[in-house]
Amino acid sequence: MLLLHDDNGVAFRDLDGDGVMAPYEDPRRPAEERVRDLLTRMTVAEKAGLLCHAPVSVAPDGGLVDAPAGLLPTAPTTSVLRDGHVRCLSLMAPVAAGPLARWHNRVQDLAAGSRLGIPVLLSSDPRHSANENPLTSVPSGGCSRWPEPLGFGALDDEDLVRGFAGIVRAEYAAVGIRLALHPMADVASEPRWARISGTFGADPDVVARLAAAYVEGLQGPVLGPGSVAAMVKHWPGAGPQAGGLDAHFASGPDQVYPAGRYELHRDRFRPALRAGAAAVMPYYGRPVGVPGLREVGFAFDPEVVAGQLRRDEGFDGLVCTDFGLLTDSVLADGTVWPARAWGVEHLDRTERALLLLDAGVDQFGGEWCPEVITGLVAAGRVSEARLDESAARVLTLMVHLGLFENPYVSEEAAVTTVGRADFAAAGAAAQRRSMVLLDEGILPLAEGVRLYVEGVDPAVAARYGSLVDTPAAAEVALVRIDAPYEPARQLPEAFFHQGRLDLPDDRRDQLTALAAAVPTVVDVFLERPAILPEVASAAAALLGDFGASDEAVLDVVFGRARAEGRLPFELPRSMAAVEAHPEDLPGGTADPLFALGHPQKG
């Protein structure tokens, strides 16, 4: 679009192409005034498009994807923008910075060619950590690599979190991502839950403080053109899943509070809200036995959204549902993944949409069905004034972010910013710092020691020790393992690491036999609490990491770097202790192997 100038020399984008600066195009006017003017010019269909938040894919070369691609269904980009008037897109693809910036500008060009020129707001799940679940995170696409949020919980360093979030902001904004579908302010009270890796841990106070620091780092002092907006999730706390099963699936819809700690989970969001979080995402879960709440998914309950969030907390920002509450998903292999409409599964998507709007929700995450919304308005079941209320929140966020003035990015700047050397170095340092010495034992190892490795790149290990092929020839063994989980048989549930926390018998016996043959250092990727009493007893040293490269682990093992982390959750001693423990109570299983905060200071 051309930059024009009015009589006072004020530059503006002529979004509607009429050669005159309309109030919504005037950068001098308050956001409320601009949005009010724009709403008077919009059709019901254009407003309805703003209430959809559609997942999209990107071709590796930066091309638009308009046909099904990959396992998970994504929206046809061109038609949802042009015909559906959708303006909020969620990026589902691990694309390099240059092609991604190129794609983003093409998308903005498509939007600029529409009747009113309303720009696109692009969002993303986390892209900076080790998690490989495409339903909860996105492979980096070249972003700097950091530990999982649990690693920040292990360090409990608000300044580090702000600095990290500032780097996320720089890398996201460089490619056009202006809305982060994070942080999680959930408390990891149920050790079997698959989403623990995305939390700051089980200490409620740490979770609350670090979530607020994350929002501050993403958004900056004021939400503006230099910000990436934060969508805090999963209101009012997704941690206490019944039996640890995740509410993405019909096998685990319920959240339970046997210790009566509903308020403890909900209130951890307050600091992030006070920090100015631009958006909130309620969870799929259906609360069971909570006085005053319906036994339906949180987003469907007016008391949860319009009541406790808006009325009690004073939140007037954007509320977007978690993805897929209206429409069943058909995967590439033909598998049908039911919509996560727990408690209202019997309703069709029109009735579900009506319930969500009545509850106070603004956007339907993962959906591109504006016709459902226009149908409700045409039938007189939703007023245009109600539509305006939610559309205004979307537009207000876009105005604050400066998208109406300049939605474009520089491909050259994207390439030089994403994965920048100093960003990568800071992430690597955080990987090392966040590790936990569960049992220091024989550490640090001496350089050049005869070393046998499993789960470690031999080429990396050879830079630290003299590699040997068998335990019998070694002075020391180093083994890296993942925290145990029960593999699900079918996608997409197989992406989620949930279920039992103890090692299978054969794997446990392999590790203890190795430790009996040669002093063995064991490092565990603690994406979830692990039950390791036999391994802990047999190992010559035991470490935990929260997403670390082989170099990071070896630096700590050989004393080149110092592990400073303390457990952000406890490691239980047995599955019996976990199963007997209330899902909503953080910590406190019977006789834990390692307590929350281990090793203690002093």
Question: Active-site residues: which are they?
Answer: 322
Cβ(512)–Cβ(504) below 8 Å: no
User: Side-chain half-sphere of 348: how many Cα atoms within 13 Å?
Assistant: 3
Closest to 15 measured CA to CA, from 104, 112, 105, 110: 112
**What is residue 337's three-state secondary structure?**
strand
- Using CA atoms, how far apart are residues 295 and 94, in angstroms rounded to an integer? 37
Cβ(594)–Cβ(543) below 8 Å: no
- Using CA atoms, how far apart are residues 181 and 173, in angstroms rounded to an integer? 14
Torsion, Cα of 417, 421, 424, 430 (10° steps): -130
- Using CA atoms, how far apart are residues 466 and 474, in angstroms rounded to an integer? 9
Contacts of 445 (CB under 8 A, 6+ apart): 451, 464, 465, 476, 521, 557, 558, 559
Structure tokens at 21: 């600066």
* DSSP-assigned states of every residue in 496-557: S-BS--BPPHHHHHHHHHHHHHS-EEEEEE-SS--B-HHHHHH-SEEEEESS--HHHHHHHH
Q: What's the count of helices (H) and strands (E) in the chain, helices before strands?
A: 19, 20
Single-letter code of the amino acid located at 300: F
Single-letter code of the amino acid located at 31: A
Gyration radius (Cα) of the chain, Å? 25
**Positive or negative torsion for Cα 573, 579, 584, 588:** negative
